[in-house]
Amino acid sequence: MIGNLVLRSLDRGALAFLATLAAIGILVPLLNLVVPASSPFHLSSYFVALFGKYLCFGLLALSIDLIWGYCGILSLGHGAFFALGGYAMGMYLMRQIGTRGVYAHPVLPDFMVFLNWPELPVYWYGFQHFAYAAVMVLFVPGLLAFVFGWFAFRSRVTGVYLSIITQALTFALMLGFFRNNLGFGGNNGLTDFKDILGFNVQAPTTRAALFVSSVLALMLGFIICRVVVSSKFGKVLVAIRDAETRARFLGYRVEAYKLFVFTLSACMAGVAGALYVPQVGIINPSEFSPGNSIEAVIWVAVGGRGTLTGAVLGAVLVNYGKTYFTSGLLASYWLFVLGGLFVAVTLLLPRGIVGTIQHHWREWRGRRVAAGVPYAAPRPAE
């Protein structure tokens, strides 16, 4: 039954997108591990880690598009769930260092030894096990989103007010995680990772495996989003987005729908953060910065709100531009470029890149049908 539901939710465009991701997940590791470094087709480990980071950002953008593009919930604090997932994975990686740290303590991380912590805090227990950390990657962001959404949606906080509250949430978490006495490394965060599941995080094979894991997570997240938005549940979400009062008048429990999709989105963001940390080698409170969450919203707007594929494309393109512009003489002008890009998209491409392409495609197809030209339309998602 689940398989039929998945198949019904995937149209030709979705299948093409998944096939592209699968090809990337196969080709990139092969070009890195198999092709010799002297070949022009060789991809460096730096490129693998960099593009793996882009894929994690794509999953974060996908989670935002699910709630913003299809339910009208504009979250300006989704970076909080991303960072919490990252910290859960970072705590596991710190527990794997053991006596290889600077202070060679078998249990306490280096920053706790430096700050004279007498023993490991209770909330660090269990993170020496990968399975426990994987559960926390989903549970902690999901629990925060559930509790926050329970109060916010039951109070019928919507629009710009909800956006401001989510921004305040991530800002408060950033201030808290900056404190040394909270037990998360303070402003330095968690770093100097050694192993993951017994493999060296710096080894090319491990980086390739993390890249493939990022591809698989993005594919799974995309399928989940397609199933949600293509179902009757997704149609209710769109109704809530377009006319929340009318949907409530028709008898739908709007708060329950919002709470579910918001919690699901937070769990997806947590997974993105967990895959991000071992590939970049650090997690610190700056990931909670409200600016990061706003930037993620820009990715979705650039790619195309309410398109799913556009959110991923926007994340990759904007972050590639960020890498390009912040590595040369234009580094100090990146924020101006980003702001100008957002303004340009808002004025010239309000539907985003993919949304604009889809709009013109539908218009072209409509003109052909009106002119009597036969056209074999793709099977629409049910």
**pLDDT tens track, the chain, 382 positions:** 677 778 788 888 899 999 999 999 999 999 999 999 899 999 999 999 999 999 999 999 999 999 999 999 999 999 999 999 999 999 999 999 989 989 999 999 999 999 999 999 999 999 999 999 999 999 999 999 999 999 999 999 999 999 999 999 999 999 999 999 899 999 999 999 999 999 999 999 999 999 999 999 999 999 999 999 999 999 999 999 999 999 999 999 999 999 999 999 999 999 999 999 999 999 999 999 999 999 999 999 999 999 999 999 999 999 998 888 777 676 777 778 778 877 888 788 888 888 888 877 888 878 877 777 655 555 544 3
- Judge contact between 203 and 44, C-beta under 8 A: no
Query: 189: part of which helix (H) or strand (E)?
Result: none
- Judge contact between 379 and 14, C-beta under 8 A: no
Tens digit of pLDDT for each residue in 43-90?
999 999 999 999 999 999 999 999 999 999 999 999 999 999 999 999
Helix (H/G/I), strand (E/B), else coil: 283: strand
Q: Is residue 216 part of a domain?
A: yes
Helix (H/G/I), strand (E/B), else coil: 282: strand
- Judge contact between 301 and 190, C-beta under 8 A: no
Torsion angle, CA of 28/24/341/304, rounded to 10 degrees? Answer: -170
Q: Is residue 36 part of a domain?
A: yes
Q: Which two tokens stand for residue 308?
A: 């799913």
Helix (H/G/I), strand (E/B), else coil: 195: strand
Q: Which pTM value belongs to this model? A: 0.93
Phi, psi of 200 (to 5 degrees): -65, 125
User: Considering its fold, how many domains does the chain have in total?
Assistant: 1
Q: Is residue 369 part of a domain?
A: no
Q: Quote the domain boundaries for residue 274.
A: 2-289
Q: Is residue 32 part of a domain?
A: yes
Query: 199: part of which helix (H) or strand (E)?
Result: strand 199-200
Position 376 scores a pLDDT of 53
Q: Which residues contact 32 (CB under 8 A, 6 or more apart)?
A: 42, 43, 44, 45, 47, 48, 204, 207, 208
- Judge contact between 293 and 76, C-beta under 8 A: yes
Q: Which residues contact 76 (CB under 8 A, 6 or more apart)?
A: 163, 164, 166, 167, 170, 290, 293, 294, 297
Q: Is residue 294 part of a domain?
A: no
Provide long-range contacts, Cβ within 8 A and 24+ apart, for 6-11: 6/223, 6/226, 6/227, 8/230, 8/381, 8/382, 9/223, 9/226, 9/227, 9/229, 9/230, 9/231, 9/381, 9/382, 10/223, 10/226, 10/381, 11/378, 11/379, 11/380, 11/381
Instruction: Please state, as a whole number, how many other Cβ atoms lie within 10 Å of the Cβ of residue 68.
Output: 22
Q: Is residue 256 part of a domain?
A: yes
Q: Is residue 184 part of a domain?
A: yes
Residue 195's DSSP bridge partners are: 200
Q: Is residue 161 part of a domain?
A: yes
